[in-house]
A and B are shown apart, each in its own frame.
Chain A
Amino acid sequence: MVSRIALAGLAVIFATGAWLVAAPFVLRYQSAGAPWTGAARLDVAVGAALATAGFAGFFTALAGGVRELYAQASTGPEPGAAPE
């Protein structure tokens, strides 16, 4: 449960980064075709960094969880073993 909440936190961080990238255009403080304002550049840059980090962290953590499951399965009882 703890790992799932932590994983969800990484997904939320990724979503926040994506929101920061889209916010200037969604809220229209950056008009299409106009020169980019400082606020829009900053939000897009920070959002992109957050989204990238969140994405990478989320899948790294997910891959680590899957790896642990494989390790537990390899050290556990044989699948064909008869239950005692």
Chain B
Amino acid sequence: MGFSGRYLSGLCVATLGLCAAGWLALAPVAFGYWKAGSHDAALTDWVTGAGLAVVSLVTLVFWVVAWRRKLRADGIVARVSRRQARREARAQRRRERDGGAAARTPDPAQVLSELRALLIPLLAQPPNSQPPNGQAADGRAPESANEPEEPGEPDGGWPDPDHDEPGYRTASAEPDYCEGDGYQPASAEPGEHQPAPAPPAVPVVPAVPAARSGGRAAMESMLAGTELLMVGCGEEEAW
């Protein structure tokens, strides 16, 4: 019978007592000795039946609780309640969903677009002592933007003048893509001036002023690097 026989016998006896209580409550009426003058017997049966019903019910509940505790202790029944299990399952699903979103590979085009959107306002910020966007009133870049900087000027640029990254071939380390449509290559000769483009009809990336901080130079380098990356990957359409 095993260990469950103990609980089964208790449950069966409690159930039998409950049935007996019901029988005792009905018997005086069913057999008619309630009206036949045997009031003591009827009263005894009712009172005993009521007490037996209460005791049997309490016994039944306690045996059920004891059996459930035993099953939980043995690991047969889950230790958590149904509500708690539901809550934990919901939290687990949420964790899996968040983890799956984090584990997804980001779209490179979207990442680069976001990077560009972040960098453009920084490039458009005016320097400390220059007019906004570093441009003249007619939209042209100031002359100093196209002129080589004086040697030893601390512009935060690259110390190596032979740096061959795009936009850093001139001594002023100006990004070339800031002119016109933003993607015109610069002249190979540093001293050669390009004719000033007509004012664009659409908002373009403004010319970068000559004086820059080291952080801006790093951002321009990043932007140029991403351009190279996009072209190399064949993703220029997405850019």
A residues touching B (Cβ–Cβ < 8 Å)?
2-3, 5-7, 9-10, 12-13, 16, 19-20, 23-24, 27-29, 37-40, 42-43, 46, 49-50, 53-54, 56-58, 60-61, 63-65, 67-68, 71
Contact = CB atoms under 8 A, between A and B. Distances in A.
Given A23-B48, A64-B6, A2 B40 contact: no
A9 B56 contact: yes
Contacts of A5: 58, 62
Contact of B13 (A42, A54, A63): A54
Binding site secondary structure of chain B: helix
Interface stretch (B19-27, B87-95, B138-146): B19-27
Contacts of B44: 23, 27, 29, 43
B223 interface: no
B55 A12 contact: yes
B66 A6 contact: yes
A16 B27 contact: no
Interface string B9-36: 1101110110010011001100101000
Contacts of B16: 49-50, 53
B38 A54 contact: no
B167 to A, nearest CB: 72
Interface in B42-57: 42, 44-45, 48, 51-52, 55-56
Contacts of B41: 24, 27, 29, 37, 39-40, 43
Q: What 7 A-B pairs have minimum CB-CB distances, sorted nearest first?
A: A64-B6, A9-B59, A57-B13, A39-B41, A6-B62, A60-B9, A13-B17
A65 B6 contact: yes
A46 B33 contact: no
A55 B210 CA distance: 104
B9 A50 contact: no
Interface string B127-167: 00000000000000000000000000000000000000000
B40 A13 contact: no
B97 interface: no
Given A2-B69, A5-B62, A9-B56, A16 B17 contact: yes
Given A13-B56, A46-B24, A63-B6, A29 B40 contact: yes
Contacts of A16: 17, 48, 51-52, 55
Given A9-B62, A13-B55, A29-B41, A57 B27 contact: no
